[in-house]
Amino acid sequence: MTSQPFTTCLWFDTQAEEAATYYTSIFKDSRLGDIARYGESGPRPAGMVITAEFELNGQRFMALNGGPDYTFTEAISFQIPCADQDEVDYYWDRLSADGGQPGPCGWLKDRFGLSWQVVPAELGSLLGGPDPDKAARAMKAMLSMGKLDIAGLRRAHAGG
């Protein structure tokens, strides 16, 4: 049995190094790791990046230039729990920029098509808890939002 941490592998066509550099420029606690390149034996052009390793907030990733056969879907997303509205705004603005697509309820796709959920860390308590009326009001408010507005969610939860 392995006790090593998991590494998430993200499949790109040709943008592995670009994506790794992009993500490490957004997350403050990040680093770019090893870059491996295809050799003369292929199957892609010699010198092209095959993998780019990187780390975001302690989570290890490997970006793979595997070809055009597979693309990202909303079935997989990364959730960023944010401490406050400034963090929500920061991640939302950067990840949805340069060809990204804002979505509903705190979801977005970045310019590579990878889905992210930019949410307040307290979202679970606003949508749950012992009072179903408060939770329903917060849920209704969230369903009307793209980028989440923490103050608006709190107001709805409180009944205001």
Where do the structural domains in the chain lie, given as residue ranges?
A: 1-70, 72-160
Is residue 25 within 8 A of residue 45, CB to CB? The reply is no
pLDDT tens for each residue of 94-147:
999 999 999 999 999 999 999 999 999 999 999 998 999 999 999 999 999 999
pLDDT tens for each residue of 20-71:
999 999 999 999 999 999 999 989 999 999 999 999 999 999 999 999 999 9
pLDDT above 80 for 3: no
Domains 1-70 and 72-160 share a fold: no
pTM across the whole model: 0.93
Question: The domain 72-160 is classified under which CATH number: 1.10.10.10, 3.20.20.70, 3.10.180.10, 3.40.50.300?
Answer: 3.10.180.10
Is residue 67 within 8 A of residue 44, CB to CB? The reply is yes
CATH no. of 1-70: 3.30.720.100
CA 11 vs CA 52, 58, 95, 114: distances in Å: 11, 20, 18, 10
> What are residue 62's phi and psi, to 5 degrees?
-130, 125
